[in-house]
Every structure is written in C-alpha cells, then in structure tokens.
Amino acid sequence: MAVMTETGTASAVPLPAMKRRSPYPGWFFLPAAIIYGVLFLLPTVASLYFSLTRWNLFSSTFIGFDNFAQFLREPFLIKGLVNTVIYAVVTSGLKVVLGLLLAVLLTSQIAARGYLRSVVFFPVLVSTVGVGITFTVLMHPTQGMINEGLALLGIKGPGWLVDPNLALFSVALVDVWKGVGLATVIYIAGIVAIPKDYYEAARIDGATSFQNFLYITLPLCRPATVTVIILSFIGGLRTFDLIWAMTRGGPGFASDTVASVIYKQYQAGFYGLSTAGNVVLFILIAVLVVPLTMLLNRREGHE
C-alpha cells in the first residue's frame, strides 16, 4: 500500500513537469535571440520582401518578380555575374597554390623564418582601400612604377587597369597579394600539425623532397586546403571594396562584379532592384559554395 502511494505520487508529480519544459532556460536565450532577430533575421526577410517591390525608402509597391526579371535582363549584370565567378575562381585558385608554396617554404629550415612569416601576413592587415589606391598608382599605364620598371627592361607594360581584357585580372592579382598571407597562415598551421614520423618513415624509404610534398604534405594538409578554398572562394564571390577602389567596375563594365553592380543600383536610387541583386548574390554564393563544400568535405577523398 505504502509502496503504491509512493510510486503513485512519484509518477503523478514530476511527469507533467518533465513534459512541460520549464520556461526558465528560455530567458537566457532571449537576449541573443532578439539581437539575432533584429540584426539578421529581420533584414533577411525584409530584403526578400523588398526585392519584390519598387522601393524608394519611403514607400514600396509590390511588383512580384519584376526586379529579378529586370536585373537578369541587364547585359552588364550578366557580365557582372560572369566576372564574379571568374574573379572568385582566379583568386581562390592562386591563393591555394601560392599559399601552399609559401607555407612549405616558411615551414622549412630557412633563415629569418619568423620575420618572413610576418612579411607575408602583413598585407592582410592593411586597409583594402589603401591597398587599392596604392596599386592603382603603381599600375598606372604610363607613370606607374610597375610599367616604368618594365620599361627599364625594355618591356612595354600593359594597361593594367585600363585594358578591358586585363582590368579584372589586375584587381584579382592585387587581391591575391593582399590575401595570400591568410592562406599561408592556415597552411602553415596545417603543415606544422603533420607528425614528423611520416617524413622520417618516408626518408627511410628514400623519398625525395618533392615526393615528401606530393605523398605526405599535400594529402595531409587537405583540411587546410578545404578551408582556404572555401574562405577565399566566398571572399571572391562577394568582393567589392578592392574593385571599387581600383576600377569602379570599369573600364565600361569590364571589371564589374555583382556587388559593384548592386552598389551602383543603390547609388542610382533603385533600392528594390539592388536588393533583388543582393538576393541573387546570396543565391549565387549558396549554389556554388554548398556543393563545393560538400565535395571537398567528402571523407578522405581518393588519393
């Protein structure tokens, strides 16, 4: 009898309390939820809405997918999309290759290693606009130091930023110069984490330095490679500041990217249109980066 009452009360009292979870922990979640909601969720939803309107900051009229239709009909926008992808592929590709080579160099036994590491990383810390302006001066077709230097060697330097076929790649090169330090640092961390045993075992097997690199360093710093590719690819897709500081998308629309096109639309007062552009950029990044990430993160890809 006593046992029955005891079990009876025991199951009667705590069970409902367990089912209905206490609201108490929720209060801790609230501040972060408000900040996140106001600063991130709300703008995202709002931008989705405004991209479907004709909007001038004071009033908006719902116009369905007209903005997207118009945005995608603009020939310079298509050019901008293509440029963005080219830019992202070129910069992330070069950052992977150069970052890895620099990291291999900077993890080997060389003089002034620590100093050189900071030299490589330094451009990362400099303001992008500052770098852009500096390189614009350096890349001036006639008075820039680069072409003057080339002239001393008897080479007629190209119009780095004024040649429509070259402008985008010139900016991409500067982006690589500025960003390769970060890739290098990530690679250095990846390479340093590889156990020395592997190299010693390979040494006994008679591996050359190049074989060490090919069979040990390269496959074993794969996580670093994935990080560098993803980071620099996303960075490349949403690039704006360097483009704007160096070419403003020019000459013509030759070096426009999605972000610079959007900026120009904002400047012109087409807020709904440019918001639609932002949504397009968001979708572009998602469509390219999500499968890329999945591909790269496949568990231990085949060697």
DSSP 4: H
Q: Which of 20, 114, 152, 205 binds other proteins (CB under 8 A)?
A: 205
For other proteins, give the closer residue by CB, 202 or 234.
Answer: 202
Minimum Å gap between C-beta 110 and other proteins is 19
CA dist 178 to 20, 83, 92, 173, 260, Å? 55, 19, 12, 9, 19
Query: What are the structure tokens assigned to 221, written together?
Result: 């710093």
For other proteins, give the closer residue by CB, 223 or 235.
Answer: 223
User: In this structure, are residues 116 and 102 in contact, taking their beta carbons and an 8 Å threshold?
Assistant: no
Query: What are the structure tokens assigned to 73, written together?
Result: 């009909």
Residue 204 contacts other proteins per CB under 8 A: yes
Residue 211 contacts other proteins per CB under 8 A: yes
User: In this structure, are residues 297 and 88 in contact, taking their beta carbons and an 8 Å threshold?
Assistant: no
Return the biggest CA–CA distance within the chain: 107
What CA–CA distance (Å, rounded) separates 165 from 213?
A: 36
Minimum Å gap between C-beta 276 and other proteins is 45
Minimum Å gap between C-beta 99 and other proteins is 20
What CA–CA distance (Å, rounded) separates 212 from 221?
A: 12
Residue 202 contacts other proteins per CB under 8 A: yes
For other proteins, give the closer residue by CB, 6 or 200.
Answer: 200
For other proteins, give the closer residue by CB, 199 or 240.
Answer: 199
User: In this structure, are residues 257 and 238 in contact, taking their beta carbons and an 8 Å threshold?
Assistant: no
For other proteins, give the closer residue by CB, 82 or 207.
Answer: 207
Minimum Å gap between C-beta 209 and other proteins is 12
CA dist 166 to 37, 156, 170, 225, Å? 43, 15, 6, 28
Distance of CA 204 to the CA centre of its chain: 41
Q: Which of 8, 14, 130, 219 binds other proteins (CB under 8 A)?
A: 219
Minimum Å gap between C-beta 106 and other proteins is 23
For other proteins, give the closer residue by CB, 73 or 299.
Answer: 299
User: In this structure, are residues 80 and 256 in contact, taking their beta carbons and an 8 Å threshold?
Assistant: yes
Give the H/E segment covering residue 215.
none
Where does this chain touch other proteins (CB under 8 A) — which range of 58-66, 149-157, 192-200, 229-237?
192-200
Q: At residue 60, what are phi and psi to the nearest 5 degrees?
A: -140, 140
Residue 210 contacts other proteins per CB under 8 A: no
Where does this chain touch other proteins (CB under 8 A) — which range of 21-29, 71-79, 112-120, 191-199?
191-199
For other proteins, give the closer residue by CB, 89 or 220.
Answer: 220
Interface with other proteins by CB under 8 A: which residues?
195, 197-198, 200-207, 211, 215-216, 219-220, 222, 300, 303
